[in-house]
Copies of this chain bind each other. A is one copy, B any other.
Amino acid sequence: MSNIEHNNNEALADIFKALSNPYRLEIFNRLSSCNVSTDDSSSEHQICECVGSLGKDLDIAHSTVSHHLKELKRAGLIRMVRNGKRTECQVNEATLAMIRAYFQPCCCGKQ
């Protein structure tokens, strides 16, 4: 490990920070599980839920959910698009791929 250059340390640490809060991780999980399969394999995670539904039953204030989503966005883990009264969120596949690459065992020679 790993396939990733270590000079994105800061960016990676930032991504992990975004996932380090249980509520944020739960929100990310919800977003991850509402993926829609399409023919276009490059966009596994399709549109999703809005800020309100993502925070449902989480027992934190709406403004806090909004804040957490902003953090996930800042780290590059999700995208947010305003659509009418709602803001739709989706997982950013590119970032997910980067994380997976980081955790893959090094393939260059020895394990």
| Chain A residues within CB distance 8 Å of chain B | 1-2, 6, 9-10, 12-14, 16-17, 19-22, 24-26, 29, 32-33, 35, 37, 41, 44, 96, 99-100, 103-106, 110-111
Contacts and interface: CB of A to CB of B under 8 A. Distances in A.
Given A20-B20, A26-B9, A103 B103 contact: yes
For the complex formed by this chain, how many copies does it contain in all?
Answer: 2
A43 to B, nearest CB: 10
B9 A25 contact: yes
Contact of A1 (B21, B35, B106): B35
B100 A32 contact: no
A37 B108 CA distance: 12
A107 to B, nearest CB: 13
